[in-house]
A and B are shown apart, each in its own frame.
Chain A
Amino acid sequence: MDKKKSSRSRKIENPDEFLFNSVLRDFLCKNKPPAFGTKILAELAAREESTANAPQESASFGNLKLSHIELDEALGAAQADLDYAVISPPIQENRKKPVGSKSYRLEPYFWEYRSFKTVAMLSALAASVAISIAGYRVWYGGNNEEAVALVQSDLPSLPTLDTTVNPDQPATEAIAQSEVKSENPTQTSSEPAVAATPAKIVHVAKPTRKVLAQPERLEIGKLTDVVNSQLRQMWKKHGVEPKLIRDNDEIWLVRATEGILGRSPTISESELFRQEKGSDRYSKTVKKLLDSEEFNLYWSRLIADNFLSQSLASVSRREASELVAWINTELVNGTPIGQIERLLLEVGFQENDPDRNAKLSLFNDARRRLASIDEEMRGTDKLSLLRTNDRDSRYVHLANKVLHSTGNGTASCVQCHSSESQVMRVITPPDQQIADQFWNFAAAIKVVAKSREQPTAELGREDQELFYDLADGNRHIATPGLKISSNQAAMELPATDQVTLHEWIEQSSNARNGLVEAIWQKLLQQPLVPPFQLTEDEAEVERRDLKELLAKQLQATGDIKTVVQSIVLSDALFVPEAKLTKNWYLTSPDTKISQYHKGARLFAYVPNETTRLATYKPQSTTLIAKWLDVEKRRTFNATALAQPQSRDLTRPPPATNSNELEDMDQVRFLLSATRPYYGIERVADQLAESKMDWNDKVNHLYLLIKGRYPMQSERFDANYTLELVQQNQLKALVYICTAQLGSY
Chain B
Amino acid sequence: MSLESTPMQDAARELSPEELIEQHQGNVWRYLRALGCDQSLADDLTQETFIAVLRRPFTQISDSATASYLRRVAYHLLVTYRRKHKRITTTEDIDALDAVWNRWTGADNAGGEVFDALAECFSRLTDRAQMSLKMRFSEDASRERIARRLGITEHGAKNLMQRAKSQLKECVEGKLQRG
Contact = CB atoms under 8 A, between A and B. Distances in A.
Contact of A5 (B36, B52, B73, B165): B36
A40 B50 contact: yes
Contacts of B89: 709
A44 B55 contact: yes
Given A37-B22, A590-B59, A25 B82 contact: no
Given A20-B165, A27-B115, A44 B85 contact: no
Nearest to A51: B55
Interface in A30-52: 31-34, 36-37, 39-41, 43-44, 47-48
Nearest to A39: B47
A532 B134 CA distance: 50
Q: Is the interface of A mostly helix, strand, loop or mixed?
A: helix
Given A23-B114, A709-B90, A66 B119 contact: no
Contact of B26 (A8, A33, A66): A33
Q: Is the interface of B mostly helix, strand, loop or mixed?
A: helix
B90 A44 contact: no
Interface stretch (A72-80, A126-134, A163-171, A339-347): A72-80
B137 A29 contact: yes
Interface string A488-525: 00000000000000000000000000000000000000
Contacts, number: 216
A699 B88 contact: yes
Contact of B53 (A75, A81, A593, A699): A75
A419 B3 contact: yes
B55 to A, nearest CB: 7
B169 A20 contact: yes
Interface residues of A, number: 80
Contacts of A712: 91-92, 95
A12 interface: yes
B55 A19 contact: no
B25 A33 contact: yes
Contacts of B169: 20
Interface residues of B, number: 82
B137 A95 contact: no
Contacts of A613: 91
Interface in B15-53: 17-18, 21-22, 25-26, 29-30, 33-34, 36-48, 50-53
A27 B122 contact: yes
A741 to B, nearest CB: 22
A410 B5 CA distance: 14
A24 interface: yes
Interface in A62-89: 62-64, 66, 68, 70-75, 77-79, 81-82, 87
Contacts of B53: 75
Nearest to B40: A63
Given A78-B69, A419-B3, A92 B165 contact: no
Contacts of A74: 52, 73, 76-77, 80
Interface string A670-709: 0000000000000000000000000110010000000001
A413 B115 CA distance: 40
A96 interface: yes
A15 B21 contact: no
Nearest to B51: A44
Contact of B81 (A64, A78, A87): A64
Contact of B3 (A92, A531, A715): A531
A434 B72 CA distance: 45
A703 B78 CA distance: 23
B45 A64 contact: yes
Nearest to B81: A64
A16 B80 contact: no
Contact of B80 (A19, A24, A70, A527): A70
B48 A73 contact: no
Contacts of B151: none
Q: Which 4 pairs, one residue from A and one from B, show the smallest C-beta to C-beta distance?
A: A78-B72, A33-B29, A74-B76, A64-B44
27 contacts: A5-B36, A5-B38, A7-B41, A16-B100, A19-B104, A21-B137, A23-B30, A23-B33, A26-B33, A32-B26, A33-B30, A33-B42, A36-B25, A36-B46, A48-B55, A63-B41, A64-B81, A70-B77, A74-B52, A77-B72, A79-B69, A82-B72, A92-B103, A96-B103, A413-B3, A695-B90, A709-B88
